[in-house]
Amino acid sequence: MTGMQFITDSKRRKTAAVIDLKKHSALWEDIEDVLVSRSRRHERRIPLGKAKANLIARGKLRG
């Protein structure tokens, strides 16, 4: 794949990647989404109905 370089260890195993963000911005957005999702996996969840009601009450969403 063009626009990517891999850094390898002494056994030639890939350990890191350098990505051309101008060429692969969509790929970076996907990676970023996964990282954010994983970082929030232990956060308290709010039911969709309650979240919608809160947004409506704050005037951020029309009911």
Instruction: Examine the pLDDT at 1 and tell me if it is beyond 90.
Output: no
Cβ atoms 36, 28 nearer than 8 A: no
pLDDT band at 63 (very low <50, low <70, confident <90, very high): confident
Phi, psi of 49 (to 5 degrees): -60, -40
Q: Which residue has the tokens 């911005």?
A: 25
**What is the tens place of the pLDDT at every residue in 22-34?**
999 899 899 999 9
Question: Is 43 a residue whose pLDDT tops 90?
Answer: yes
Boundaries of every domain in the chain: 4-57
